[in-house]
Amino acid sequence: DQQVKQNSPSLSVQEGRISILNCDYTNSMFDYFLWYKKYPAEGPTFLISISSIKDKNEDGRFTVFLNKSAKHLSLHIVPSQPGDSAVYFCAALNGNKLVFGAGTILRVKS
């Protein structure tokens, strides 16, 4: 029972263009959502988050959008850079439990 789903295993984008990573969730009790980035041979690192009372949060090139009615969130990266190539995990928080999606591999081509 995957409560957090990232349906695209991979995404390839040209440098300078927008990358859009998507995430769907099923549990309406989630009240906080996060995106983590992971490079090979390293642990995930926190990227950006959003509370369930908001619909958008922006930090530099990264913007997260939350659509609660659709139980969907997305991460936009503009403009995409080769250094953004990594695995991106969506995560959702309910109380003290943080549930992760399966991840999306982003490749930014130069």
Partner 1 sequence: EAQVTQNPRYLITVTGKKLTVTCSQNMNHEYMSWYRQDPGLGLRQIYYSMNVEVTDKGDVPEGYKVSRKEKRNFPLILESPSPNQTSLYFCASSLSRPSPLHFGNGTRLTVT
Contact residues for partner 1, defined by CB under 8 A: 4, 6, 9, 32, 34, 36, 41-46, 49, 89, 91, 93, 96-103
Q: Minimum Å distance from CB 14 to partner 1? A: 27
Q: Minimum Å distance from CB 68 to partner 1? A: 18
15 or 62: whose CB is closer to partner 1? 62
> Rg of the Cα trace of the chain?
13
DSSP characters for 30-43? --EEEEEEE-TTS-
60 or 69: whose CB is closer to partner 1? 60
14 or 27: whose CB is closer to partner 1? 27
The token pair at 51 is: 């509370």
Q: Minimum Å distance from CB 103 to partner 1? A: 5
Q: Minimum Å distance from CB 4 to partner 1? A: 8
φ, ψ of residue 6 in degrees (nearest 5): -115, 105
31 or 55: whose CB is closer to partner 1? 31
CB count within 10 Å of CB 34 equals 19
Q: How far apart are CA 37 and CA 104, in angstroms?
A: 10
Residues listed for the chain: 110
